């Protein structure tokens, strides 16, 4: 059970969701800077507005940063016939073939070999499966490398289609999940996410100790995080 409504503050539209939580939370979502507040049912409209007012400077700062990031994205990135692989854009080329469908990077293009009548939905499924295979090939050696370096051990690594997260860590089960979207980003971004999730096996929350762990093992992690989020997920 939940309750949704909107408020406007200094020209900024804020989506509010009342639900069964204890505290008021705020999020500015990438890439468009949408502002969302989650609040407990007991929170009055005034207390929600007062909370938003107290965070107004922070909201504007992050929205400005996101707009600058979006303005720096080349327009060809938004062309649905272009695909990003390890940080590089490749145009999609379709090759009619009666053999089993497969994908290959060839002569500066992402080439999909499949029957001409293959639907767009089927093409996306084939390409997504290829992305998963490419990611697995790079991911497993990175996990093994950083397990040794950080003195941790993962029980299982899952590769999942996630549209809002790059990765996650189940501290109890010692499992990590990595988004297939990372097959599109530079390899150093994948490495950053691996270290980030493994760091959660040493510290569950993003507190000062977590930051110290990241600084110790991956001093350039902030720059890699910026690069990771330079392009919006799509």
Tens-digit pLDDT profile for residues 186-232: 999 999 999 999 999 999 999 999 999 999 999 999 999 988 887 77
42 in the same domain as 92: no
Cα separation of 211 and 221, whole Å? 10
Q: Which pLDDT does position 157 carry in this prediction?
A: 96
50 in the same domain as 83: no
Percent over 90 (pLDDT), the chain: 76
> Given 14, 36, 71, which residue is the final one in a domain?
71
Domain range for 48 is 3-71
89 in the same domain as 65: no
Question: Domain count of the chain?
Answer: 2
pLDDT digits (tens, 9 = 90+) for 142-168: 999 999 999 999 999 999 998 778 999
Q: Residue 226, SS3?
A: helix
**If you average pLDDT over residues 135-144, what whole number do you get?**
96
Q: Which pLDDT does position 64 carry in this prediction?
A: 87
Q: Which pLDDT does position 143 carry in this prediction?
A: 97
Tokens of residue 68, six digits: 């600058």
Question: Is 23 part of any domain?
Answer: yes
203 in the same domain as 89: yes
> Given 71, 97, 119, which residue is the final one in a domain?
71
CA 179 to chain centre: 7
User: Does 74 score more than 80 pLDDT?
Assistant: no
Three-point CA angle 220, 202, 142, nearest 5°: 55
Please provide the average confidence, as pLDDT, over all residues in the chain: 91
> Given 54, 71, 88, which residue is the final one in a domain?
71
**If you average pLDDT over residues 13-23, what whole number do you get?**
91
92 in the same domain as 46: no
Percent over 70 (pLDDT), the chain: 98
Question: Is 234 part of any domain?
Answer: no
Question: Is 145 part of any domain?
Answer: yes
Structure-model confidence comparison of residues 20 and 234, the more confident one: 20
Q: Which pLDDT does position 202 carry in this prediction?
A: 97
Q: Strand runs (DSSP E) across the chain, as ranges?
A: 3-9, 12-19, 25-29, 34-40, 82-85, 88-96, 102-106, 109-114, 156-160, 167-170, 175-179
221 in the same domain as 107: yes
């Amino acid at each position: 059970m939940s309750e949704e409504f909107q408020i406007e503050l200094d020209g900024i539209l804020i989506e509010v969701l009342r639900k069964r939580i204890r505290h008021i939370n705020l999020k500015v979502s990438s890439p468009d800077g949408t502002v969302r507040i989650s609040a407990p049912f007991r929170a009055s409209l005034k207390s929600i507005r007062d909370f938003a007012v107290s965070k107004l400077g922070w909201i504007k700062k992050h929205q400005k940063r996101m707009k600058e990031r979006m303005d720096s994205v080349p327009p060809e990135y938004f062309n649905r016939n272009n695909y990003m692989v390890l940080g590089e854009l490749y145009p999609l080329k379709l090759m009619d073939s009666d053999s089993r469908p497969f994908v290959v990077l060839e002569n500066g293009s992402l080439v999909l070999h499949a029957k001409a009548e293959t639907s767009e939905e089927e093409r996306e499924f084939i390409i997504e499966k290829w992305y998963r295979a490419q990611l697995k090939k790079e991911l497993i050696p990175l996990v093994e490398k950083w397990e040794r370096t950080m003195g941790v051990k993962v029980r299982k690594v899952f590769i999942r289609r996630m549209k809002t997260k790059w990765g996650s860590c189940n501290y109890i089960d010692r499992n990590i999940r990595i988004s297939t979207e990372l097959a599109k980003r530079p390899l150093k971004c994948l490495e950053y996410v691996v270290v980030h999730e493994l760091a959660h096996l040493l510290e569950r929350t993003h507190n000062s100790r977590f930051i110290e762990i990241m600084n110790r093992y991956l001093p350039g992690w902030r720059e890699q995080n910026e690069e990771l989020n330079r392009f919006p997920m799509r």
